[in-house]
Amino acid sequence: MEGTREVRGPVVVQVRERGQFTIPAEIRRQMGIEEGDVFSLIQLGDTLIATRKKLVTPEIASAIEALMQEEGVTLGDLLDGLEEQRKTYVKEKYGIEA
């Protein structure tokens, strides 16, 4: 289960073509590892440690969408504002009209 600190004996896996190896199904099930999960690899001498990374992009996108709905802002509004910001930036940075 995710978050448990139980230590189990070593599991032997074989590295395949393109450096891939399979995490045994029992471990995936116990740890809640699913297809598409992302891991960071840390090398400590001859030891390789894999830690799961949590992707925050979907959470940020959901929060922005909720805020946009709450404020009544559309994607078109954001894009219009972006164009205005680009013009302001170009004028401030380069002293020219965009």
Q: DSSP string spanning the chain?
A: -TT-------------GGG--PPPHHHHHHHT--TT-EEEEEEETTEEEEEEEPP-HHHHHHHHHHHHHHHT--HHHHHHHHHHHHHHHHHHHHSS--
pLDDT at 32 over 80: yes
pLDDT in tens, 35-93: 989 999 999 989 899 998 877 788 888 899 999 999 999 988 888 889 889 999 999 99
Domain ranges of the chain: 17-53, 57-94
pLDDT at 2 over 70: no
CATH class belonging to 17-53: mainly beta
